[in-house]
Structure 1
Amino acid sequence: MKFQLDEQQGGNAISRHDGQCVWVNGQPHRASLLVPWRGEVQPWPLSRFEDLTEAHFEQILACKPELVVFGSGARIRFARPQLYRSLIQARIGVETMDLGAACRTYNVLASEGRAVLAALLIDPE
């Protein structure tokens, strides 16, 4: 039994992923990206987990989400808390998952009307 709408009204939806590409609203993205619950999908200039910096999380902060779902690539990897200190200080929750889990979780939260942002690392790993 299906519990979710096929398309979200007025928001972004991730329709599929394969590790090298994520489709948002039917459009393919082959590089890391930020998917806010509403508004424009943004490139996230990051190609390797090891290259994460505070600036990457500052870009997320500018979107003003209430919750961030960080898709750390093909496998789950946790960023050092110092990197996302700005989100913690702004009382924005951060959940880390592998890419597939992050895509699924984002869709559920966005369909509930939550102010969620998916920060998705697409890496060649």
Structure 2
Amino acid sequence: MVKGIEIRDAHFPGRAPIDAYGNGGFRFADMSHRGSILCLPSGIHGWEPKTLPILTAADLSLVLEQASDIEILLVGTGTELRRLPQELRDVLRAHRISSDPMSTGAAVRTYNVLLAEDRAVAAALIAVD
């Protein structure tokens, strides 16, 4: 019996710096991904926030599942800085995660620096064109 193509959730099982961003995606670890990503202790995951441009706790459920390994969450909000809703900031704070929204470009650069310093950092990065 011939097996068809198996579609799996996008996931790179390791921590890696982001080499490039733009054109609707990201490059990292000699790979590329089209769309938004979550950079977490468990690896880099494809991510489709459901409530853009406003993020909710449901959009960051995978972040909250790994909260014990995350101190700082950088949120790349696209080309423009957007504040996180107070309700989301409260949920993150309850999980002892400091959140820092910024443009996606700034978040990528900051993530790479903190990752190189071996900090407990995660990033939610919205793809930009």
> What TM bracket, shorter-length normalisation?
0.7 to 0.9
Partner of 1:98: 103
Q: Which structure is higher in RCO with an 8 Å CA cutoff and minimum separation 6?
A: 1
TM-fit CA distance, 1:122 = 1.7
Q: CA deviation at 1:68?
A: 0.3
State which drifts further: 74-83 or 101-110.
Answer: 74-83
Which structure has the greater CA radius of gyration?
Answer: 2
For 2:60 and 2:90, locate their aligned partners in 1 and report how far apart those are by CA, in whole Å: 8
CA contact (8 A) 2:15 2:42 kept: yes
String of CA shifts for 1:69-98, please: whole Å, max 9, x gaps: 000011111121202422111221101110
Aligned partners of 1:66 and 1:92 also within 8 Å: yes
Question: CA–CA distance in 2 between the matches of 1:106 and 1:19?
Answer: 19
Amino acid at match of 2:30: G
Structure-1 residue corresponding to 2:52 = 49
Distance (Å, rounded) in 2 between the aligned partners of 1:23 and 1:86 = 30
What runs of 5+ residues in structure 1 fail to find an aligned partner?
1-9
In 2 relative to 1, CA 50–72 (structure 1 residues): closer, same or farther, beyond 3 Å?
same
Structure 2 unmatched ranges of 5 or more: 1-13
Higher deviation after alignment, 85-94 or 56-65: 56-65
User: In structure 1, what is the equivalent of residue 28 of structure 2?
Assistant: 24
Contact in 2 for aligned 1:35/1:41 (Cα 8 Å)? yes
Cα distance in structure 2, aligned partners of 1:39 and 1:21? 20
- 1:21-53 residue CA offsets vs partner (Å, 9 max, x unmatched): 1112221121111012x4321122226633522
In structure 2, distance between residues paired with 1:74 and 1:48: 17
Distance 1:18 1:123, change over 3 A: closer
